A and B are shown apart, each in its own frame.
Chain A
Amino acid sequence: MAFGALFTAMLKEEWRMHSTMFGDRGFFLFPVVLTVFAALASLAVPVFLAVMPPGSVSAAAHIFYLIAGVSVGSFGLLGREVMNRRFGQASLLAYSSRSLPISERTIIGVFILKDCLYYFVFWVVPAVVGVVIGSLFVAEIPFSAAPILLVSLGLSFFLGIAGAFFLSTVYAWSPRALAAILGFLVIAGALFAVSDIPLTGAFLPLAFYAAPALLPAVLSLLLIFLLAGFSIVFVNIDFPESSRRYAAHLPALARTFAMTSAPYFVAKDFIDLRRSDGGMGKIVFSFLFPVGIIWLLLTILQYFIPGLPPGIIFAILLGIFTSTFYNWLTEYDLFTSYAFLPVTVAQVIRAKIESYLILNLIPVLFLLVAIPFFGDALLLIPALAAFAGLSLYAVGVTVYLCGLTPNVMLYDARTFLLYLAAIAPFVLVLIFLSIPSPWYAAAGILLVPAGLVLIQKGGDRHTSFDERSF
Chain B
Amino acid sequence: MDANISEYVIEARNLRKEYGEVIAVAGIDFTIRKGELYGLLGPNGSGKTTIIRLLTGQVQPTAGSVRVMGIDAAADPVEARTGIGIIPEQETPPSFLTGEEYLRFVGDIRHVEDIEAQCDWWFSYLDFDDARTRLCKDLSRGTRQKLMFAQAFLHRPPLALIDEPLINLDPVMQRKVKDFLMDYVTAGNTIFLSTHILAIAEEICTGIAILNRGELLFTGSPAELRERHEDLEGFFLNLIGGHGE
Which residues of A from 399 to 450 have beta carbons under 8 Å from B? none
Which of B96, B98, B106 is within 8 Å of A341, CB to CB? B106
**For the complex, is A332 an interface residue (Cβ under 8 Å from B)?**
yes
Which A residues touch B94, using CB under 8 A?
A: 268, 272, 332-333, 337
Which residues of B from 62 to 121 have beta carbons under 8 Å from A? 77-79, 81-82, 86-88, 90, 92-98, 100-101, 104-106, 108-110
Binds A, one of B29-37, B133-141, B176-184, B223-231: B133-141
Q: Are B134 and A342 in contact (CB under 8 A)?
A: no
Which B residues touch A176, using CB under 8 A?
A: none
Closest CB in chain A relative to B135 CB, distance in Å: 7
Which of A268, A334, A339, A342 is within 8 Å of B97, CB to CB? A268
**For the complex, is B58 an interface residue (Cβ under 8 Å from A)?**
yes
Q: How far is the CA of A291 from the CA of B241 in the complex (A)?
A: 65
Name the CB-closest residue of A to B91.
A337
Which residues of A from 37 to 59 have beta carbons under 8 Å from B? none
Q: How far is the CA of A467 from the CA of B60 in the complex (A)?
A: 10
Which A residues touch B109, using CB under 8 A?
A: 264, 341-343
Q: Are B92 and A334 in contact (CB under 8 A)?
A: yes
Which of A245, A251, A271, A340 is within 8 Å of B56, CB to CB? A340
Do A275 and B135 form a contact, CB below 8 Å, given A342-B81, A344-B78? yes
Q: Which of A254, A342, A467: most chain B Cβ within 10 A?
A: A342
Which B residues touch A275, using CB under 8 A?
A: 96, 135
Which B residues touch A245, using CB under 8 A?
A: 98, 133-134
Q: Are B96 and A250 in contact (CB under 8 A)?
A: no
Q: How far is the CA of A45 from the CA of B66 in the complex (A)?
A: 71
Determine the interface band of chain B, counting residues with CB < 8 A from chain A.
20 to 34
Which A residues touch B78, using CB under 8 A?
A: 342-344
Which A residues touch B100, using CB under 8 A?
A: 248
Which B residues touch A334, using CB under 8 A?
A: 92
Q: Are B81 and A249 in contact (CB under 8 A)?
A: no
Which B residues touch A343, using CB under 8 A?
A: 78, 109
Q: Are B138 and A466 in contact (CB under 8 A)?
A: no
Which of A248, A264, A342 is within 8 Å of B82, CB to CB? A342
Which residues of A from 310 to 353 have beta carbons under 8 Å from B? 332-334, 336-337, 339-344
Do A276 and B104 form a contact, CB below 8 Å, given A340-B86, A341-B81, A342-B81? no
**For the complex, is B239 an interface residue (Cβ under 8 Å from A)?**
no
A233-255 Cβ-contact flags toward B at 8 Å (1 or 0): 00000000011111111110010
Q: How far is the CA of A268 from the CA of B95 in the complex (A)?
A: 10
Do A340 and B93 form a contact, CB below 8 Å, given A242-B138, A246-B135? no
- Chain B interface, DSSP helix/strand/loop, else mixed: mixed
Q: How far is the CA of A441 from the CA of B66 in the complex (A)?
A: 54
Q: How far is the CA of A467 from the CA of B54 in the complex (A)?
A: 12
Q: How far is the CA of A333 from the CA of B94 in the complex (A)?
A: 6
Which A residues touch B105, using CB under 8 A?
A: 250, 264, 268
Q: Are B60 and A264 in contact (CB under 8 A)?
A: no
Closest CB in chain A relative to B112 CB, distance in Å: 12
Which A residues touch B60, using CB under 8 A?
A: 466
Q: Are A342 and B133 in contact (CB under 8 A)?
A: no
**For the complex, is B185 an interface residue (Cβ under 8 Å from A)?**
no
Name the CB-closest residue of B to A341.
B109
Which B residues touch A342, using CB under 8 A?
A: 78-79, 81-82, 109-110
Do A272 and B82 form a contact, CB below 8 Å, given A264-B105, A342-B109, A466-B60? no
Name the CB-closest residue of A to B130.
A245
Q: How far is the CA of A246 from the CA of B135 in the complex (A)?
A: 8
Name the CB-closest residue of A to B87.
A340
Q: How far is the CA of A214 from the CA of B109 in the complex (A)?
A: 66
Closest CB in chain A relative to B56 CB, distance in Å: 6
Q: Are B97 and A247 in contact (CB under 8 A)?
A: no
Q: How far is the CA of A254 from the CA of B105 in the complex (A)?
A: 10
Q: How far is the CA of A341 from the CA of B110 in the complex (A)?
A: 8
A340-381 Cβ-contact flags toward B at 8 Å (1 or 0): 111110000000000000000000000000000000000000
Q: Which of B59, B78, B87, B96: most chain A Cβ within 10 A?
A: B96
Q: Which of A243, A245, A248, A263: most chain B Cβ within 10 A?
A: A248
Name the CB-closest residue of A to B116.
A251
Which B residues touch A251, using CB under 8 A?
A: 101, 104
Q: Are B97 and A466 in contact (CB under 8 A)?
A: no
Which A residues touch B58, using CB under 8 A?
A: 339-340, 467
Which A residues touch B110, using CB under 8 A?
A: 341-342
Q: Are A336 and B92 in contact (CB under 8 A)?
A: yes
Closest CB in chain A relative to B3 CB, distance in Å: 24
Q: How far is the CA of A254 from the CA of B107 in the complex (A)?
A: 13
Closest CB in chain B relative to A26 CB, distance in Å: 30
Which A residues touch B134, using CB under 8 A?
A: 242-246
Which B residues touch A272, using CB under 8 A?
A: 94-96
The 4 closest A-B pairs by CB, nearest first: A242-B138, A340-B86, A250-B101, A245-B133
Residues of B within 8 A of A (CB): 56, 58-60, 77-79, 81-82, 86-88, 90, 92-98, 100-101, 104-106, 108-110, 132-135, 138
Residues of A within 8 A of B (CB): 242-251, 254, 263-264, 268, 271-272, 275-276, 332-334, 336-337, 339-344, 466-467
- What are 9 A-B interface contacts by the 8 Å CB criterion? A242-B138, A264-B108, A264-B109, A271-B97, A340-B56, A340-B58, A341-B86, A343-B109, A466-B59
